[in-house]
Structure 1
Amino acid sequence: MHIVAFLPLLLPAASAWTLVLANRVWDGTGNKGCTPATTPAGSTLDWDRAWLSDCCVHLYNDASCSSQVGYSCKDWKKTTSQRISTFKVTNC
């Protein structure tokens, strides 16, 4: 009976990661290519990874994901200081 109580802890997470930018939510279980996410400076950013996940988020201020303005491989909450145009998720 005690094993059943711990079973949810052993099941894979529904999402390996979740990104919230200015109240828009993206989530997934693996890598994500260059994705539009137009967000003005001063917006709320919240990056969360599942336990034991190695996923990293990369933030860019251009449409082609070539001008990186931030990244994190750990959970991250902040107010953006720059406009965000796109993001990628890697290392999942």
Structure 2
Amino acid sequence: MKKEIFIGMFVGLIANAMGLFIAANLLGQGDDFTTVIKAAANEGFLGKLISLGAVLNLVAFFVFIRKKQDYRARGVLLITVFIALFTFVFKLF
């Protein structure tokens, strides 16, 4: 059971990283990834960019639900909640 939750958490992290990369490339106007991330941090919308990257977690969650892999879906959900809390704390400071 714990192994399945950790697999879901890993998939959630990978999906979020891929979503962040895709969002940065789409919104970056042709700049490279590190430049977009630095500009987002300087302009104060890095939290929004990370939250936008978490959209792919939704896809992973529903794939696991459809395959009846509830513990993996729970891991994805835990990572999504963690990302939401992280962006909330990041926004405060």
User: Scaled by the length of structure 2, what TM-score is found?
Assistant: 0.24
Task: Considering Cα pairs closer than 8 Å and 6+ residues apart, tell me whether 1 or 2 has the greater RCO.
Answer: 2
Q: Which has the higher strand share?
A: 1
Higher alpha-carbon Rg: 1
User: Scaled by the length of structure 1, what TM-score is found?
Assistant: 0.24
